[in-house]
A and B are shown apart, each in its own frame.
Chain A
Amino acid sequence: MATTRILEWVGRFYIFLLLGFLYLPIIIMALMSFNASPFYQLPFEWTTDWYASLWQNDQLIAATWNSIEIAIITTVISTVLGSAASLALYRYEFRGKKFLQALLFPPIAIPWLITGTAMLIFFFGIGIGRGLIAILLGHVALALPYVIVVVSARLQTFAPELEEAARSLGANQWQVTVRVTLPWIMPGVIAGGLFAFAVSFDQFVVSYFLSTPGQTTLPVEIYAAIRKGFTPEINAVSTIIIVVSMALMLLTARFFKFGGEK
């Protein structure tokens, strides 16, 4: 038994090391965004100047608003369309259903580099070109499979007898959906929506290929700034982004358990 105890403590220590590996760079980046030296020199001198100067950076602020707007519109569209599709996949039996479900896999599994460049070519070919509309089209498509997967997972826990019971009591299809099914799957819908927001807000690769200098999102703007050279301002805006996206995922986790216990 003694060796078991020791091994368990080694295991716990190992997890601690892994968490260090995962979080240290982020913590250091956050600390450096509060350091006065523009060349990240130590000793550490506290300042919030870099955050203050973010407000003067019109380009960055414009890109931030674009990111937020696109993420919100993506969330609304993909949650509505995705939930509807999940309901159909749950409720009805038809030929080709397996195929439709399998079609959700490629958008998730194919590297964004390929999807992004393909969208660029196609949108150019049909005249949409690059810009915010193209980015929005792409983001919704990337978010849809996640929404459908998450909402479908929630629907698996729903008892169809409830719908049958409501129907036999005289409710029509619309009433059944709105009064019975929707309240039950709401946690899944909310989680799906938060996923969609995260997919869009954090999306870099696809936005990168679809953006033009005037119409761009925050991650694309940051990438351009990084390639010009590091500045503490990038640290500051990066720190804000990471805090926002982690908070978002913590919120999602409240509504949706990441697999595992069912």
Chain B
Amino acid sequence: MAEQLATGSRRGLRPALPLLLPAYLWLTVAIFLPLSAMVFFSFMTDLPLAGKEWSFTLGNYAAFFSQSLYLTLLLASLRLGLEVTLWCVVIGYPAAYVLAKVLKGRSREAIFLLVILPFWSNGLVRIFSWAMVLREGGILDITLNAVLPFKINIDLMYSYPAVIIGLVHSYVPYMVLTCYLTLQAIDDSLIEAGRSLGASRLQMLKRVIIPLSMPGLIAGAALIFVPVVGSFMEPRILGGRTGTFYGTVIEDQFVAVFNWPLGAALSFILLAVVLVILALAAPVLRRAG
């Protein structure tokens, strides 16, 4: 393989260690040890700080399974993740197609950058900006009432749809990016060949284009679904009282209720769910990457 020739011109871990160690030590201290510690704490009755009494317990996990509240909220978060992901596919895929197959040259590059740009800007601020649009007397309310002949009150702020809109706005660039990468790799001559053999546009889409871009779709879906299930700031700001999800309950355990062991158990359950999803998507992600 060319890649093997290109990389690893020299053998052995020893000369590589001084270069590798600082970065991986840092990752261990700040990511991998904390994740392990979280698992450990989730089996404790209390934090072993300031001489507090503690012992091992399964109580925190029992709390999850015995009180339907947590399971209900986890399901609500999974549903939220699913809905947001679907909207991102519906909105993002056609855009990726136009970018990859219709636009050419400089305009494609510029528009691609414009689509990706918000994704790398501050997520909190972007969520907040929807508050201006969605609230009663906001821009959406005023515009619709100016256009429509009858009076309607648009007050989407603090509602489930507001949370969906905010999250889709946050994550749709991801879907555009991953689908664009796979769509762009499809040879144009393949599409021309299919068309000249008499396939209709719809047939080409169903039989050729969508199957070939499936890795991008799945990669995008995984990369959107996972963070949405763990979201708490977006539901808090846009959902108000209706914005109670699994993520916000975990947040509460750490910043309001101060039941850290329960919070750790809830976090770990979420991590398990996330890992299962990523493991399912991993083969596809590897091929797409």
- Tell me the A residues contacting B by CB distance below 8 Å: 8, 11-12, 14-15, 18-19, 21-26, 28-29, 32, 40-42, 81-82, 84-85, 87-97, 100, 103, 106-107, 109-115, 117-125, 137-138, 140-141, 144-145, 148, 156, 159-160, 163-164, 198, 201-202, 204-205, 208-209, 219, 222-223, 226-227, 230, 234-235, 238, 241-242, 245-246, 248-250, 252-253, 258-260
- Are B124 and A204 in touch, CB under 8 angstroms? yes
- 14 A-B pairs with CB atoms under 8 Å apart are A14-B95, A26-B129, A84-B23, A93-B9, A96-B13, A103-B24, A103-B27, A113-B232, A113-B267, A118-B264, A160-B6, A222-B125, A222-B128, A245-B121
Residues of B98-152 contacting chain A, CB below 8 A = 98-99, 102-103, 111-118, 120-126, 128-133, 137-139, 142
- Are A234 and B13 in touch, CB under 8 angstroms? no
| Contact A82 B23, CB 8 Å, known A14-B94, A19-B114, A25-B132 | yes
B220 at the interface (CB under 8 A from A): no
- Are B122 and A202 in touch, CB under 8 angstroms? yes
CA distance A28 to B128 in the complex (A): 11
- Are A91 and B16 in touch, CB under 8 angstroms? yes
- Are A209 and B254 in touch, CB under 8 angstroms? yes
B91 at the interface (CB under 8 A from A): yes
Contact pattern, B 194-215, Cβ under 8 Å of A = 1, otherwise 0: 0000000000000000000000
Interface class of chain B by DSSP? helix
- Are B20 and A89 in touch, CB under 8 angstroms? yes
B187 → chain A closest CB, angstroms: 15
- Are A111 and B29 in touch, CB under 8 angstroms? no
| Contact A15 B98, CB 8 Å, known A25-B132, A160-B9, A223-B233 | yes
CA distance A82 to B19 in the complex (A): 9
- Are B41 and A121 in touch, CB under 8 angstroms? yes
Closest 7 CB pairs of A and B: A93-B8, A111-B230, A141-B30, A88-B19, A122-B34, A11-B98, A85-B23
User: Which residue of A15, A25, A238 is within 8 Å of B99 (Cβ)?
Assistant: A15
- Are A25 and B23 in touch, CB under 8 angstroms? no
CA distance A198 to B226 in the complex (A): 21
- Are B250 and A122 in touch, CB under 8 angstroms? no
| Contact A94 B16, CB 8 Å, known A81-B22, A122-B38, A140-B26 | yes
